[in-house]
Amino acid sequence: MNSLPGNRKRSASLAWIAAAALGAGLCCAPASAQERPAPETLQLEAVPQDAPLPAPFAGLERSDYRIGRQDLLEVKVFAVDELNQTVRVADDGSITMPLLGRLAVDGLTKTELEQKIAAELAERFVRDPQVTVFVKEYESKRIAVSGAVKKPDTYEMLGRKTLLEMLSMAGGLDKDLGKEIIIFRPAADGSTERIPLDLQQLVYAADPRLNLTVEPGDIIYVPTVEKVRIFVTGAVKQPDVYEVPHDEPLTVLKAVTLAGGTTDRAARKRVQIMRSDPEGKRVTLYADLRKIQRGKAEDPLLQKGDIVLVPESFF
């Protein structure tokens, strides 16, 4: 079958393309050429190769990005509007084009895909086709950042990104941090690798060995520290509910100190610790705060949900 001669006839009618498709064993039912007005001068929407990329895409060479699953592509063929479409890459790494059918695109750069589509069209349908591909959504290169960050979300990762760069994109660290950052990384066999990193060494000691390069599909999780809530009441200066990190031991003396210390009327030798046992039954323990302060008695460790009561002395 002969190709259309000359660049001026590149805007071939859909009827001619339909005939070519039927000859190739494909099926379509377009309108006739007489029903379509001649196209006016086409305004190209291709982005110049030297145009700067907007943040956060700055620094990425366009030719470097490789198309992946779930990316949203905009494909245009110059002067053949019927072939223009916006299509999402399927989970098998392919897209479906009019006339061409299914094309494997996973792992191709934008330029490589343009060349592939142009070659397929030139072989059967259009002489010297001009194809442009624009990646509208980079779904295959996304990283989730969650936990104790100011803007937890899923972010597009274009080009090489490190752990600290992704934390910066998420607005930085929030309060009530734990002592580590965890990266959950999907493996090729379907399992998930857990990579714990010391938060103090990464952020405050600025250890470059821990500033790992992240990969598409990573989940960066910044755990919030678990708090132990203790209620201190009775003859203390500031009775209230107090929270301390779970990994910091909390004793009776420390709890009373958090509450501002005892009042002058406190019966320090009869401090009560009210606690629920595993069966939910309330039990009461006793501590002599005077002996604890003198180092003559053990300072009992408190548990989550304990109530420390310092009774008043009436003598």
pLDDT in tens, 98-121: 889 999 999 999 999 999 999 999
**pLDDT, position 315:** 56
CATH number at residue 258: 3.10.560.10
Say whether pLDDT at 287 is over 60.
yes
Structural domains in the chain (count): 3
Q: Greater confidence, 33 or 271?
A: 271
CATH number at residue 107: 3.30.1950.10
Q: Greater confidence, 38 or 110?
A: 110
Mark whether 207 and 271 lie in a shared domain. Answer: no
Nearest Cα neighbor of 70 from 140, 142, 143, 155 is 140
Q: Greater confidence, 64 or 151?
A: 151
**pLDDT, position 53:** 38
- Structural domain including 83 reads 7-43+60-137
Say whether pLDDT at 262 is over 60.
yes
Question: Could you write out the DSSP letters of every residue in 66-109?
Answer: B--TT-EEEEEETT-GGG-EEEEPPTTSEEEETTTEEEE-TT-B
Average pLDDT over residues 302-315: 87
Q: Please name the helix (run of DSSP H) or strand (run of DSSP E) that holds residue 176, with its range, or none.
A: none
pLDDT band at 178 (very low <50, low <70, confident <90, very high): confident
The answer to whether position 30 is within a domain reads: yes
Among 137, 164, 181, the domain-final residue is 137
**If 0-12 CB within 10 Å is exposed, 13-18 middle and 19+ buried, where does residue 107 land?**
exposed
Say whether pLDDT at 158 is over 50.
yes
Q: Greater confidence, 52 or 99?
A: 99
Asked if 163 and 185 count as a contact pair (C-beta separation under 8 A), the reply is: no
pLDDT band at 131 (very low <50, low <70, confident <90, very high): very high
Pull the structure tokens for residue 273: 């610790």
Give me the count of residues in the chain: 315
Q: Greater confidence, 225 or 163?
A: 163
149: DSSP letter? B
| C-alpha radius of gyration, the chain, whole number | 34
The answer to whether position 172 is within a domain reads: yes
Among 100, 122, 137, the domain-final residue is 137
Among 85, 109, 137, the domain-final residue is 137
Average pLDDT over residues 58-73: 69
**pLDDT, position 9:** 42
Percentages of the chain per state (helix, strand, coil), in multiples of 5: 20, 30, 45
Q: State whether the Cα torsion 112-114-115-117 is positive or negative.
A: positive
- To the nearest whole number, what is the mean pLDDT of the chain? 81
Q: How far apart are the first and last CA of the chain?
A: 113
Give the rounded percent of residues in the chain with a pLDDT score beyond 70.
79
The model's pTM is 0.53
The answer to whether position 50 is within a domain reads: no
Mark whether 94 and 210 lie in a shared domain. Answer: no
Mark whether 207 and 267 lie in a shared domain. Answer: no
Contacts 24+ apart (CB under 8 A), 255-260: 255/230, 255/302, 255/308, 256/232, 256/289, 256/308, 256/310, 258/232, 259/232, 260/236
Say whether pLDDT at 233 is over 90.
yes
Average pLDDT over residues 10-18: 44
pLDDT band at 150 (very low <50, low <70, confident <90, very high): very high
Say whether pLDDT at 4 is over 70.
no
**pLDDT, position 16:** 46
Say whether pLDDT at 49 is over 70.
no
**pLDDT, position 195:** 95
Mark whether 123 and 150 lie in a shared domain. Answer: no
